[in-house]
Structure 1
Amino acid sequence: MNRNKNYTLIAIILLIGVYGYNFWLEKEEDKKVVYEGIKIKGDTNVFFLPSSTTGQVVHHDGYSLSYNEKYEQAEWVAYELKKEHLANRNFKRPYFEIDKTIKTKAAHWKNYKQSGYDKGHLCPAGDRKYSKQAHDETFLTSNISPQLHEFNSGIWNTLEQKVRYWAEKYDGIYVLTGGVLNGELPTIGEEQVGVPNYFYKVLLDYNNGNPKA
């Protein structure tokens, strides 16, 4: 009887040890992912990035962002839209994924479920069709903000198309976009994702050493 108890105790200790080791491995992997997000990528032009009010700037291959934990979304997303980026490839639309590079944890896409709001892209997938990785990165939850469907599929979509037109016309532009995050905003979901009342896009043409906004 005592021997059986000892075996049970040993089994419990082993299970705790395995669980603890796996937990440690997951934490170490999380740290690596966050570190990769902090690293500046080859195509990132940090000279044009605005300041961050949160100190949480993440660089993906196709865009950079500053995440605001209070509102559970990016306060800005910035990227260069070159003429050669304007590919017409039809990649399969992926599922939205939580951005694991956000140290404070990005909001879950389920916050938008039955909320009455679209998952509005800040850096649109249409601007990142030059590679599958760049395209799929736009479906990270750090790159979305709650938008009414009429707005998202209407004037916001029209503006996104206009931005691509200007990128081709002026041989590339820098794009800065986001929702206006200040004060007490309406929220959606368990994580209380802020719903901006206004959205903006700032465009900069820096060709020929003659900047125009």
Structure 2
Amino acid sequence: MAKKKTGVKPKKRVKKRKAGKKGSPFLASLKRFLGVVLGGTVLSIGLLFVYDYAYPEEAESAYVKLRNEQSAETAFTPLTLPKGIEQPRVLTDAKQQILYREGHTLSYNPEYRIPNWVAWVLTQEKLENNRASRYDQFVPDPDVSEWATAYDEDYRGSGFDRGHMVPVADVKWSHKAMRESFYFSNICPQDRKMNGGIWNTLEQKCRTWASDKGVLYIVSGPVIHPKLRRLGKNRVAIPEQFYKVICTVSDNKYQGIAFLLENREYKGTKLQATALPIDSVEAVTGIDFFPLLPDKEEREMERTVDLKFWFK
């Protein structure tokens, strides 16, 4: 008589499933992977300790080399200043065309035929590398449309100077930078006595500061509003005021100063008497200066002026 099947086989199948679950190939692979990663990490840390112990002088030399390879614009200070720190941000709806030049960057306003702002970095090294001979030909910026630029004939007989925002003497370290400073995108109508007087004094003072402090981050331009008078056939706006804002770093601290000057002659006025906090110029122009700085440091720098720092 044949024996009846018992349920042994199902029980064996259950045991096999449990054994298979404990010995999953995926879990085994994961354990091996984690073991390799952990072992590699421990080995790497051990090698670093051995290297630092065996080659302490080489490690120090690598740090010194990296520090010495910093650009001349930031090596004078322990603070690391971001690239393009000098470039501001227009907070209004003013029209603008951003143009990058060898010696400066600018925001050009095609409606008024003058810049909103012109920004550049002035270093002691650039001032010492004074190799370019003066170039005196004012020409339209090749990147500005013909209908949106000023021309030389707009200024002839007007009584106004072709006033540079980035001055020629700041870019004599490069022939190309000097030529580009004569583009009309960098020029505004300025009162001759203002241009040759207090404005020129301010430009010279900036070069003195750059020599003393190592580097300046400068933004300069006109104050623009819709009711400005116009000049010449192409209706170039005549600014009533000009500004210049400056930032540097000393003893690991940002220092800032600003000037807001009317487009007129200043008789017997000392430059120091016209100094303002950067906040004051921001309120008038609608431009945020040095927006790449940390917010806390930017606010502190822009709300006050340390006159003893700038005018010793």
Note if contact 2:95-2:111 (Cα within 8 Å) is conserved in structure 1.
Answer: no
| Partner residue of 1:133 out of 146, 162, 176 | 176
- C-alpha distance in 2, partners of 1:199/1:120? 11
Q: TM-score, normalised by structure 2?
A: 0.52
Q: How does 1:157-176 map to 2 (within 5 A)?
A: 157-176=200-219
Q: Which amino acid aligns with 1:47?
A: I
Question: Could you tell me which residue of structure 2 aligns to residue 30 of structure 1?
Answer: none
Q: Which amino acid aligns with 1:92?
A: R
- C-alpha distance in 2, partners of 1:189/1:208? 49
Residues 55 and 73 of structure 1: is their aligned pair in 2 closer, same or farther, counting only changes over 3 Å? closer
Residues 100 and 152 of structure 1: is their aligned pair in 2 closer, same or farther, counting only changes over 3 Å? same
- C-alpha distance in 2, partners of 1:48/1:125? 18
Deviation at 1:54, TM superposition (A): 2.4
- C-alpha distance in 2, partners of 1:205/1:75? 22
| Partner residue of 1:83 out of 106, 117, 124 | 124
Note if contact 2:132-2:173 (Cα within 8 Å) is conserved in structure 1.
Answer: no
Question: Could you tell me which residue of structure 2 aligns to residue 63 of structure 1?
Answer: 104
Q: Which amino acid aligns with 1:189?
A: G
Structure 1 spans left out of the alignment, 5+ residues: 1-42
- C-alpha distance in 2, partners of 1:80/1:158? 19
Three-state SS of the structure 2 residue aligned to 1:86 is helix
Question: Could you tell me which residue of structure 2 aligns to residue 194 of structure 1?
Answer: 237
Deviation at 1:208, TM superposition (A): 5.8
Q: Which amino acid aligns with 1:86?
A: L
Deviation at 1:173, TM superposition (A): 0.6
Deviation at 1:207, TM superposition (A): 5.4
User: How many aligned positions are there?
Assistant: 171
1:97 aligns with 2:139: yes
- C-alpha distance in 1, partners of 2:97/2:133? 30
- C-alpha distance in 2, partners of 1:156/1:84? 23
Question: Could you tell me which residue of structure 2 aligns to residue 143 of structure 1?
Answer: 186
User: After TM superposition, which residue ranges in structure 1, 4 or more long, deviate above 4 angstroms?
Assistant: none
**More RCO (CA 8 Å, sep 6+):** 1
Cα deviation per residue 1:18-48 (whole Å; 9 max; x = unaligned)? xxxxxxxxxxxxxxxxxxxxxxxxx993333
Question: Could you tell me which residue of structure 2 aligns to residue 155 of structure 1?
Answer: 198
Percent of aligned pairs sharing the same letter: 36
Residues 179 and 55 of structure 1: is their aligned pair in 2 closer, same or farther, counting only changes over 3 Å? closer
Three-state SS of the structure 2 residue aligned to 1:100 is coil
- C-alpha distance in 2, partners of 1:48/1:162? 18
Cα deviation per residue 1:118-167 (whole Å; 9 max; x = unaligned)? 00000000000111111111111101100111111111111100010011
Q: Which has the higher Rg, Structure 1 or Structure 2?
A: 2
Q: TM-score, normalised by structure 1?
A: 0.75
Q: CA RMSD in A?
A: 1.9
